[in-house]
Amino acid sequence: MSTSKEMHVTAAGAYEHVLDELIPVFTRESGIPIQLTVANAAGVIKRLEAGEAVDLVLTSAAGIDRLIASGLADRASSVEIGRMRLGVAVAPGQHLPDLSTADSLRSLLLAAPHVAYIDPKGGGTSGPFIAKLFERLGVASQMEHSGVLSKTGKDVVRAVASGAATCGLTQASELIRAKGVQFAGYVPAGLQVISVYAGAVATAAHVPDLAMDFIRFLKSPASAECFRSSGWDAGGGTKA
């Protein structure tokens, strides 16, 4: 199938690795090229508010709700894509830390000279959650001194890969399969925060039908398996 149409997708960083795998599959099957733009959650909203050409937006469910309330996304098209947990990464070759309990995670954070994590005030979905995690662990003041504040998950990865940080925290999907780091595991269940991610067609979409086709593709069983292998809890069809 050949077409001159192109779809523009704007997505939060948690989606990037899985979209890098799935977009070529969709394009091969449909003949529709996709231009992907990735930003943190706040950046996604700013792009639509600025009038950027977007057909489909993929971000946190809260972000989709905000876009719908602002008239920038179509409520009828909104759907939950998947859910994500917080994870930890360390440098390749480093001994994988024990992340099974709150005490073991606290010990890791206190022993690390530098910890990279999403800036709670930087607009990323996980930033405020990580700040609350530090408060619950009683290490918030220490993290202010040892923290390497990062705007995106890519920045967390860069900090760990370069040695600027001993370990890094962000959404697990941004760490699994990331080059230059090794995924150490998820934050312990008792401290875990689940982020819900969703998608919706932009109200100013040039190819809304194609955007809906891509949403259906992302919700297919084959795509759900790709999401799960990237750390997502995916496969449901719940409305966002």
Q: Which domains, and CATH codes, for the chain? A: 7-83+196-234 (3.40.190.10), 86-191 (3.40.190.10)
**Residue recorded with tokens 């269940």:** 189
CA 98 distance to own-chain centroid: 24
Model confidence at 64, pLDDT cuts 50, 70, 90, reads very high
Looking at every residue in the chain, the average pLDDT score rounds to: 93
Pairing mode, if any, of strands 182-186 and 86-90?
Answer: antiparallel
Asked if 136 and 165 count as a contact pair (C-beta separation under 8 A), the reply is no
**Residue recorded with tokens 């790709």:** 226
Asked if 3 and 209 count as a contact pair (C-beta separation under 8 A), the reply is no
Name the residue type at position 49: E
pLDDT of residue 235: 61
Asked if 13 and 150 count as a contact pair (C-beta separation under 8 A), the reply is no
Q: What is the DSSP string of 102-133?
A: HHHHHHHHHH-S-EEEE-TTTT-TTHHHHHHH
- Tens of pLDDT, residue by residue over 134-188, are 999 999 999 999 999 999 999 999 999 999 999 999 999 999 989 999 999 999 9
Q: What is the DSSP code (8-state) at residue 100?
A: S
- Tens of pLDDT, residue by residue over 100-119, are 999 999 999 999 999 999 99
pLDDT of residue 234: 76
pTM: 0.89
Q: Report the percent of the chain where pLDDT is more than 90.
A: 90
